[in-house]
């Protein structure tokens, strides 16, 4: 395999279209298709389900995609670290992001800073929170973006944004209730829920939500490999799901907002964190100010 094949696969997963992925990678569609087919042959199974209407990840593809993204991110980090060493006038900011973070917000948050600081290179790594926190502690990252959580004394944090958590019903049960625009947690507490592994923060937040309402969370015995699989399993009737709005596909019309016992919409908060007292470059200090002064305003406007 080679990096081009991995880029083809990642772009196809992100775009859901061979045409869009080929344009994104600046190659012809046959070149992209052949590269992905060669990668699948080497890995031993199909990464994508191809139909005349859509392209979707197989369970095997969903399982491997975080690894593919990590390899590509590591390659970008290698190039930028080399550039920072050879050209000390350029500065580097290293950001680790939970897969749960909204890609739209991430782009909107970073782009204004990049325009104002063209001499600064920003490298993003999307990984599970355990690895990201270890890298932050080991000075391999400057910032971590993820679900808000109580911070250790060695960390500082800044609020980024919040988004609603939605209830995705199992099968079509809740679609049969016309006029329902939101659900109270107490009314959906008896459902069995499919979950993703406790790596991105969603499983932890879901369990905390049920504990705060003194309800027992009934979890399906298996685990979905991705948010896409989580939604698919809910549609198949395997169990219900709780997901942030940005991770739902456009056709998830049966998803409903959740309200707590006070009638307020249940949301999931995200934050940026960094090491307290860490020696940071001037670029990192400016980015920290950007996080405090600019990003919350951008998020509130979405």
E strand segments, the chain: 48-50, 55-57, 91-97, 120-126, 143-147, 155-168, 183-184, 192-195, 218-223, 241-244, 256-259, 267-275
**Virtual torsion, Cα 192, 194, 197, 201, nearest 10 deg:** -80
Q: Which residues, in sequence order, are CB contacts of 7 under 8 Å at separation 6+?
A: 25, 72
Considering only CA atoms, which of 38, 170, 130 is closest in space to residue 9? Answer: 38
pLDDT of residue 47: 94
Domains annotated on the chain, with CATH: 3-64 (1.10.10.10), 73-161+270-300 (3.40.190.10), 163-268 (3.40.190.10)
pTM assigned to the model: 0.71
3-state secondary structure of 206: helix
DSSP state of 265: B
Asked whether 29 and 35 are in contact (CB, 8 A), the reply is no
Which tens digit of pLDDT belongs to each residue from 79-98? 777 776 776 666 788 899 99
pLDDT of residue 52: 65
pLDDT of residue 166: 93
Tokens representing 32? 């992209």
pLDDT of residue 120: 87
Which tens digit of pLDDT belongs to each residue from 229-287? 888 888 888 999 999 988 887 556 778 899 988 889 999 999 999 988 766 778 888 99
The neighbouring-strand residues paired with 269 are: 162
Considering only CA atoms, which of 187, 160, 175, 181 is closest in space to residue 246? Answer: 160
Burial of 20 (0-12, 13-18, 19+ CB in 10 A): middle
Asked whether 47 and 218 are in contact (CB, 8 A), the reply is no
Bridge-based pairing state of the strands 256-259 and 155-168:
antiparallel
Residue stretches of the chain with pLDDT short of 70: 52-53, 84, 87-90, 151, 172-179, 250-252, 278-279, 301-302
Three-state DSSP string of 52-89: CCCEEECHHHHHHHHHHHHHHHHHHHHHHHHHHHHCCC
CA distance 71 to 42: 16
């Amino acid at each position: 395999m080679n990096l081009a094949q991995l880029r083809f696969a990642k772009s196809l997963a992100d775009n859901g279209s061979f045409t869009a992925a080929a344009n994104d990678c600046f190659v012809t569609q046959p070149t992209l298709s052949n590269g992905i087919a060669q990668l699948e042959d080497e890995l031993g199974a199909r990464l994508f389900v191809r139909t005349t209407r859509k392209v979707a990840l197989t369970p095997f593809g969903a399982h491997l995609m975080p690894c593919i993204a990590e390899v590509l991110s590591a390659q970008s980090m290698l190039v930028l670290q080399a550039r920072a060493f050879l050209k000390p006038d350029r500065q580097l900011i290293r950001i680790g992001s939970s897969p749960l973070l909204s890609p739209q917000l991430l782009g909107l948050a970073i782009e204004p800073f990049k325009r104002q600081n063209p001499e600064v290179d920003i490298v993003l790594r999307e990984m599970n929170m355990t690895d990201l926190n270890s890298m932050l502690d080991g000075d391999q990252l400057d910032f971590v973006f993820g679900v808000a959580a109580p911070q250790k004394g060695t960390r500082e944090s800044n609020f980024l944004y919040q988004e609603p958590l939605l209830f995705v019903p199992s099968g079509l049960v809740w679609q049969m209730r016309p006029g329902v625009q939101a659900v109270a947690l107490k009314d959906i507490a008896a459902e069995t829920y499919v979950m993703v592994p406790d790596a991105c923060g969603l499983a932890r937040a879901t369990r905390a939500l049920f504990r705060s309402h003194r309800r027992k969370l009934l979890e399906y015995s298996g685990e979905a490999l991705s948010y896409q699989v989580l939604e698919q399993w809910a549609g198949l009737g395997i169990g219900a799901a709780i997901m942030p709005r940005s991770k739902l596909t456009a056709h998830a019309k049966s998803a409903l907002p959740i309200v707590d016992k006070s009638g307020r919409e249940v949301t999931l908060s995200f934050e940026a964190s960094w090491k307290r007292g860490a020696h940071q470059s001037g670029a990192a200090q400016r980015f920290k100010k950007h996080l405090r002064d600019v990003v919350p305003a951008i998020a509130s406007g979405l």
